[in-house]
Amino acid sequence: MCRASQIVLPDDIKKYVDSQNYVINDIGMSESEVRIYDKYVLKIQPESEETDNEYLIVNWLGHGIPVPSIPVYCKQNGLAYTLMTKVDGEMLCAKKNLEYPGMLITIVARGLKMLWEIDVKKCPYTTSRLDERLKAAEYRVVNGLVDVEHAEPETFGPEGFKNPKELLEWLKCNRPEEDIVLTHGDLCLPNIFARDGSITGFIDLGRMGPADRWQDLAITIRSFERNFGGKYTDGKKIYDFKPEMLIDELGIAWDEQKYRYYILLDELF
């Protein structure tokens, strides 16, 4: 986590937010500090390929889908500063949204279709493709960056893989053919904002780019299961979500192989 006392804002950022009050958003992104201002969101995190990609992909998209604009992106002393316009609406995981499961499933299906309609054939940013993701996963495995403690209980251990290295080898040997669309890369409910039943914005776009559609589908289904299943409400189940509810809304076929593959790939990140 970046410490506020150690952060000196770059001059280009100060022009927009200097002396303004802000609150800290501590949902997710453990290595980041996210400051919420009246009109802007400032994300401060260690500079990386993902921080570069977020800025580049947003500019490539233009106004194709609802994402924040980024008036300033700069790097200083190993930190990346991404100043974004504030997205209207609320996270889909907000308590009042979770009270309407059918509406949420419909909203997410519309969001996925919105992404899939973007023509990515000329997209120059390919860090989201499986070749690049596996390279990034290997780097994390070799450097001991995989958080095994927070993996799904069945991923590692007696009934699963011995360690992240064995999982990585399995992923390399069992990679599926890619069905390329524009993907968000981490399409969980906190990263989708909506108001009055319509999506107002996608956030946290560092992994966005061309990839197999199941990259998003797997993460989205898992997010529904966690949010409705009680993971964040002390075990109190909210709704009996079934993956086919979303799959049927999308009008596509279930693919167990790809679902498992992309869930396991995400365990290394």
pTM of the model: 0.92
Would you tell me how many other CB atoms lie within 10 Å of the CB of residue 179? 12
Find residue 94's DSSP bridge partners. Answer: none
Is the Cβ–Cβ distance between 182 and 208 less than 8 Å? Answer: yes
pLDDT digits (tens, 9 = 90+) for 176-215: 999 999 999 999 999 999 999 999 999 999 999 999 999 9
pLDDT digits (tens, 9 = 90+) for 113-151: 999 999 999 899 999 999 999 999 999 999 999 999 999
Q: How would you label 191-202 residue by residue, b for 16+ Cβ within 10 Å and e otherwise?
A: bbbbeeeebebb
Which residue of the set 179, 186, 196, 266 is catalytic? 186
98 pLDDT above the threshold of 90: yes
Give the pLDDT confidence score for residue 52 in this predicted structure.
96
Active site residue 255: no
Q: Quick one: average pLDDT of 32-39?
A: 94
Give the pLDDT confidence score for residue 21 in this predicted structure.
95
d(CA 134, CA 228): 30
pLDDT digits (tens, 9 = 90+) for 209-249: 999 999 999 999 999 999 999 888 877 899 999 999 999 99
The conformation of residue 177, written as its DSSP 8-state character, comes to: P
d(CA 174, CA 79): 36
pLDDT confidence tier of residue 31, bands split at 50, 70 and 90: confident
